[in-house]
Structure 1
Amino acid sequence: MSDVPADEAGARLTVDLGALKRNYQALAAMTAGAECAAVVKADAYGIGIEAAGPALAAAGARTFFVAHLSEARRLRAVLPSAAIYVLNGLFGEALATYADHQLRPVLGSRDDIERFSAFCSQTARRWPAAIHVDTGMNRLGLDLAEAALLAEPGPHALAFEPALLMSHFACADEPGHPLTARQVDRFAQVRGLFPGVPGSLANSAGCTMSAARHDLARPGVALYGARYRADRAPLEPVVRLDAPLVQVREVRAGDTVGYGATWSASRPSRIGIVSVGYADGYLRSAGTTNHQAGAYARVNGVTCRLAGRVSMDLIAIDVTDAGQAAPGDTVTLIGDGIGVDDVAEAAGTIGYEVLTSLGRRYNRRYTGG
């Protein structure tokens, strides 16, 4: 829950934990035959890791993925028995933290593997970890030759317990992309080098592909109600953003609104102002100019277009057609059919960025938990 009281916040962010749980259960059904994990990195895609983790566990999730060690410690505080993997490798000299909190690093370089193996030898225990192999993303992960060398017996024998072998798709959200099929084939080859080690390849989009499911699927953005494949509708929306109008003003035809005077009224208009801006994660590029249609909002049940650029702390909306819109009336910026992907499209980005940008100045309300 946010520390910002409702009467002091510029807007309310409502997080539907019931929808989050139903989305997890839908994805678990989609990946029947494999365990379904949950990715809760980036503060559970902006909705709050301390709220999302227990909700997903209540829905059946037993395995979780975060990006940073700090996120793993926060998650462990609310999920004492879950398996928690840290995707971005080993952090500094904090090796003992993984052992102290029963956390599993995802090892994606020879240096990571050597350091963690040395730690296991020093502590005389084969701590569990995941091995990350790159199959085409060219970001983190061992290359195929390094993976083959690691799999050989002898001086390269693993000092840690290989609890998972994983890779990451680059283009699974684009149906038919040729790289996806190549990654599926490469991962199948690598799995043959590590018999008996569970495999994980499927992200949100990969959950729809039987060849990608292996033993553990790890959906992320689909859990939170954003589009996860270009040809699939999102699951249930999880977030809603509402703000009261703080002012309504009359402008004449030809008057401009906002920084840069990039939008001008084509008729006598009424402009409503809400106390939300790009400092709150509502992206500046979602604004409307005379040359670019921006995002929509709903006012009194009427769809209204933004007017001008999004400012740091304020957004202007053309409420001319929204009846007698007045200060105090509720404006819905996300919700009532306006999804995070709609805002993202208007801003020229993806739903991931909208979700993970949602700010801390909102009054946060959790429902369905």
Structure 2
Amino acid sequence: MFIVKSNAYGHSLKEIIKNLESYVDAFGVVRMEEAILVRKATSKPILLMQGIYTESEIKTAKENNIQVVIHKISQFELIGKNDSELGLWIKINTGMNRLGLSQEELKLVYKKGIIGSDSVLMTHMACGDDPDDPMNKMQINNFEKAFDLVERTTKRSICNSACLINFPELSFDWVRSGIAAYGGEFKNLNLKTAMTFRAPIISIRNIRKGERVGYGGRKKASEDMRIAIVYAGYADGIPQTTTMGLKCW
């Protein structure tokens, strides 16, 4: 599965789908609006990773054949109330402590027969980019305990980009590749950054030692120097909080 949330991390959702559709089995997003845009561009499976919260979202997901992640009991209750046949991914909290069912909640849901054999059991690794962090082993063990509570035919998904790179043996039925495909930084991998940000220089000026530049006068000249003004700023996606020393070519 290729993650295209947040407009494909700013790379243009439509362009990414057009160029990569034949290489992936499904697409993942976090908002319903994104899921609908993806559905207009492809017939491949779509996963709404933050799930559904209203009856109207259930209806939209069903009409557009969008699979959903369930991470709390109230979402199961909402689905049961509306008697909807949705593709379900059950998210388990294995230690990251953001979203996901506890072991006890999983037991409760499973006893009610809500989790089918075609459901996917998933979790998210907090420290997958550091293979030596002991939290990885803890999360893997907790996920295995959760899997023991459901049908053995239930599909599994643990790996995000970092986990896929450092723990390929955990690939199982689905992997969720996101930042790595866009050129994220991972040790010992020669990944090429997918995006290049270009802007023209519109002014060059000389300033004296001690003079200050920009909002808040953040840059103070340590000597007489020549500076260039680049035609780009926070309105174009460059964070206003960017630290001094951002490299440009």
Q: Same fold (TM over 0.5)?
A: yes
SS of equivalent to 1:199: strand
Please give the per-residue CA displacement for 1:273-322, whole angstroms capped at 9, x wherever unaligned. Answer: 0121122221223242xxxxx21111xxxxxxxxxxxxxxxxxxxxxxxx
Distance 1:54 1:215, change over 3 A: same
Question: Aligned residues: percent identity?
Answer: 29
Q: Work out which of the residue numbers 77, 90, 95 in structure 2 matches 1:136.
A: 95
- Tell me whether 1:207 sits opposite 2:170 in the alignment: no
Deviation at 1:239, TM superposition (A): 0.3
- Tell me whether 1:151 sits opposite 2:101 in the alignment: no
Deviation at 1:246, TM superposition (A): 0.7
Partner AA of 1:196 in structure 2: T
Q: Distance in 1 between matches of 2:209 and 2:115?
A: 73
Deviation at 1:217, TM superposition (A): 0.7
Q: RMSD value over aligned CA atoms?
A: 1.8
Q: Equivalent residues in 2 for 1:273-284 (5 A)?
A: 273-284=229-240
Deviation at 1:91, TM superposition (A): 3.3
Say which structure, 1 or 2, has more relative contact order (CA 8 Å, 6+ apart): 1
Distance 1:78 1:116, change over 3 A: same
Distance 1:160 1:100, change over 3 A: farther
Q: Work out which of the residue numbers 55, 59, 84 in structure 1 matches 2:46.
A: 84
Deviation at 1:162, TM superposition (A): 4.2
Please give the per-residue CA displacement for 1:141-186, whole angstroms capped at 9, x wherever unaligned. Answer: 111111122223xxx0127674311111111112311111111111
- TM-score, normalising length: structure 1: 0.63
- Tell me whether 1:174 sits opposite 2:130 in the alignment: yes
Q: Which residue of 2 aligns with 1:16?
A: none
Q: Is the 8 A contact 1:106 1:132 kept in 2?
A: yes
- Tell me whether 1:48 sits opposite 2:12 in the alignment: yes
SS of equivalent to 2:202: strand
Partner AA of 1:104 in structure 2: Q
Q: Which residue of 2 aligns with 1:107?
A: 70
Q: Distance in 1 between matches of 2:173 and 2:127?
A: 21
Q: Distance in 1 between matches of 2:170 and 2:198?
A: 38
Q: Equivalent residues in 2 for 1:166-315 (5 A)?
A: 166-194=122-150, 195-208=152-165, 209-227=167-185, 229=186, 231-233=187-189, 235-288=191-244, 294-298=245-249
- Tell me whether 1:64 sits opposite 2:27 in the alignment: yes
Q: Distance in 1 between matches of 2:220 and 2:198?
A: 25
Q: Is the 8 A contact 2:184 2:193 kept in 1?
A: yes
Partner AA of 1:102 in structure 2: N
Please give the per-residue CA displacement for 1:230-262, whole angstroms capped at 9, x wherever unaligned. Answer: x34461210001111111111123322223333
Q: Which residue of 1 aligns with 2:80?
A: 117
Distance 1:167 1:106, change over 3 A: same
Flag as ranges the 4+ runs of structure 1 deviating above 3 A: 159-162, 231-234
Deviation at 1:220, TM superposition (A): 0.9
Q: Is the 8 A contact 1:251 1:268 kept in 2?
A: yes
Paired residues, number: 246
Structure holding more strand per residue: 1
Q: Distance in 2 between matches of 1:175 and 1:55?
A: 32
Q: Distance in 2 between matches of 1:238 and 1:139?
A: 29
Consecutive unaligned residues in structure 1, runs of 5 or more: 1-36, 289-293, 299-369
Q: Is the 8 A contact 1:131 1:162 kept in 2?
A: no
Q: Is the 8 A contact 1:69 1:91 kept in 2?
A: no
Q: Distance in 1 between matches of 2:189 and 2:241?
A: 24
Partner AA of 1:207 in structure 2: L
Q: Which residue of 2 aligns with 1:312?
A: none
Q: Distance in 1 between matches of 2:190 and 2:125?
A: 19
Q: Which residue of 2 aligns with 1:39?
A: 3
Q: Is the 8 A contact 1:116 1:160 kept in 2?
A: no
SS of equivalent to 2:119: strand
SS of equivalent to 1:112: helix
Consecutive unaligned residues in structure 2, runs of 5 or more: none
Q: Is the 8 A contact 1:128 1:161 kept in 2?
A: no
